[in-house]
């Protein structure tokens, strides 16, 4: 019986069933936009924290930028969809050597301060102008760069957490920006249930 109760505590109560990347590709200095669909198997009394993180350099986490963080909740049982928009990264905090090419953007969700899922996308940054691609300026011109998120190939990592622990602090925010779907289908393409190890996510 005690083992069963422990299993219930760590069983995932929320799944990200779908993520749609909106406005892609787009100028580098335009916002990131993700349409996120959550599925809750029971009412959650506390907020889910979602944040978008831009990896500025593969060399060091010190260049990671949290583009935005929102609290969603409390979340009732069922399927819910919301659009998460975040400002672009600050170009001045990105090493010039890492301004162009492939990097990563992460969508991270936590409950009671514990991360339970992250969805990672490769992002390719390049000049739209062919001449600039062939002869790039010494200093990056971010207003001429286009970002292209590889939306069809997300990397998903799920973490087992204890869903019943009480939070030490909680800033309560109503869930007005979350819409409950009336149907389990809604014509959405479901995200493939890809399980990745932590090593695979160490981009």
**Average pLDDT score over residue span 23-49:** 94
Of 164 and 17, the one with more pLDDT = 17
Band (pLDDT 50/70/90 cuts) for residue 64 is very high
CA dihedral 53, 200, 17, 147 (to 10 degrees): 40
Cα separation, 107 vs 54, in Å, equals 9
Residue the block writes with tokens 């990563």: 104
Phi-psi region of 112 (alpha: psi -120 to 50; beta: other; left: phi over 0): left
**pLDDT digit string, tens, across residues 94-125:** 999 999 999 999 999 999 999 999 999 999 99
Q: Look-up: residue for tokens 């924290």? A: 49
Beta strands in 22-100 (DSSP E): 26-27, 32-40, 48-55, 65-72, 78-86
pLDDT at residue 165, as a whole number:
65
* Average pLDDT score, the chain: 80
What value, to the nearest 5°, has the Cα angle with vertex 25 and ends 30 and 151? 115
User: Of 33, 125, 47, 37, which is closest to residue 84 (Cα–Cα)?
Assistant: 33
> In a 3-state reduction of DSSP, which class is residue 199?
helix
Identify the pLDDT of residue 186.
35
The C-alpha R_g of the chain, in whole angstroms, comes to: 19
Pairing relation of β-strands 14-21 and 32-40? antiparallel
- What are the structure tokens assigned to 184, written together? 């389990």
3 state SS of 15: strand
Diameter of the chain by CA atoms?
68
**Interval 161-167 mean pLDDT:** 74
Q: How confident is the model at residue 11 (pLDDT cuts 50, 70, 90)?
A: low
Question: Other CB atoms closer than 10 Å to residue 117's CB: what's the count?
Answer: 20
Count CB-CB contacts under 10 A for residue 25.
17
């Amino acid at each position: 019986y005690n083992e069963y109760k422990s299993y219930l505590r760590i069983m995932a109560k929320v799944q990200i069933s779908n993520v749609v990347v909106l406005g892609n590709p787009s100028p580098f200095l335009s916002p990131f936009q993700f349409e996120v669909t959550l599925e809750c198997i029971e009412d959650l009394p506390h907020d889910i924290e979602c944040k978008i993180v831009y990896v500025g350099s593969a060399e060091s986490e010190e260049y990671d930028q949290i583009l935005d963080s929102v609290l969603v909740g409390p979340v009732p049982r069922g399927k819910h969809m919301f659009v998460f928009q975040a400002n672009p990264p600050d170009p001045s905090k990105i090493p010039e050597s890492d301004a162009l090419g492939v990097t990563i953007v992460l969508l991270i969700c936590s409950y009671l301060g514990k991360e339970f899922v992250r969805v990672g996308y490769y992002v390719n940054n390049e000049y739209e102008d062919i001449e600039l691609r062939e002869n790039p300026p010494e200093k990056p011109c971010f207003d001429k760069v286009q970002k292209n998120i590889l939306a069809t190939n997300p990397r998903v990592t799920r973490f087992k957490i204890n869903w019943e622990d009480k939070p030490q602090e909680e800033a309560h925010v109503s869930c007005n920006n979350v819409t409950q779907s009336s149907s389990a289908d809604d014509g959405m393409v479901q995200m493939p249930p890809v399980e990745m190890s932590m090593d695979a996510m160490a981009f």
